[in-house]
């Protein structure tokens, strides 16, 4: 086992206090361990005086309180995840329903919309759109409004 140099504590003290003797300077020039201790001591002294934080750290109680609040929000997010999945599925079903209805009755709707003249309206009263189509439109419109209101009110 290699013994440390007996002058190393004196070199560390001289580095911290910046009080070098001529004999100690000569020893550091000849001893590799003491030269390394002097170099490291100079660096560590400068590092200990350097404060790189632009602002003070927050109080520990504030950090603890934020952690507790964050934990509560994580728990709430985890509990709301199934509801969010159901809401996304509902959006998909309503959008698919509207796409299916518009595709199913596109020709009839186009003919009906292009014929909005007073005489055409009177003639169409005798041949209204099918009850299935009207019921489907009412159900989809209701679901669309409910989802829209839920989305608006659930944001708060």
Burial 52-63 (b: 16+ CB within 10 A, else e): eeeeeeeeeeee
Instruction: Give 117's DSSP letter.
Output: S
H helices present in 18-59, as ranges: 22-30, 32-49
**The model scores a pTM over 0.95:** no
Q: What residue has token string 């599925």? A: 89
pLDDT in tens, 15-36: 888 888 888 888 888 888 888 8
Contact 105, 128 (CB under 8 A): no
> According to the model, what pLDDT value does residue 1 have?
43
pLDDT at 85 over 70: yes
pLDDT in the model for residue 8? 85
Q: What is the pLDDT of residues 101-155, one digit of tens each?
A: 888 888 877 877 777 777 776 666 655 567 787 788 889 899 999 888 888 887 7
- In 3D, which of 6, 76, 68 has the Cα closest to residue 37? 6
Question: How far is it, in rounded angstroms, from Cα 117 to Cα 124?
Answer: 11
Q: Which helix (H) or strand (E) holds 130?
A: none
Average pLDDT over residues 6-17: 85
| CA–CA distance, 11 with 34 (Å, rounded to integer) | 7
């Amino acid at each position: 086992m290699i013994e440390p140099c007996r002058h190393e504590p004196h070199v560390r003290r001289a580095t911290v206090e910046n009080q070098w003797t001529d004999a100690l300077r000569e020893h550091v020039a000849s001893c590799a361990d003491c030269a390394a201790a002097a170099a490291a001591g100079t660096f560590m002294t400068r590092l200990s005086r350097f404060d790189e934080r632009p602002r003070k750290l927050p109080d520990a109680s504030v950090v603890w309180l934020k952690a507790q609040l964050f934990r509560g929000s994580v728990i709430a997010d985890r509990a709301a995840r199934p509801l969010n999945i159901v809401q996304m599925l509902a959006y998909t079903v309503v959008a698919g329903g509207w796409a299916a209805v518009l595709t199913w009755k596109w020709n009839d709707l186009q003919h009906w919309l292009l014929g909005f003249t007073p005489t055409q309206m009177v003639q169409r009263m005798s041949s209204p759109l099918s009850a299935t189509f009207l019921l489907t439109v009412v159900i989809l419109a209701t679901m669309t409004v409910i989802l829209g209101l839920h989305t608006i009110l659930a944001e708060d």
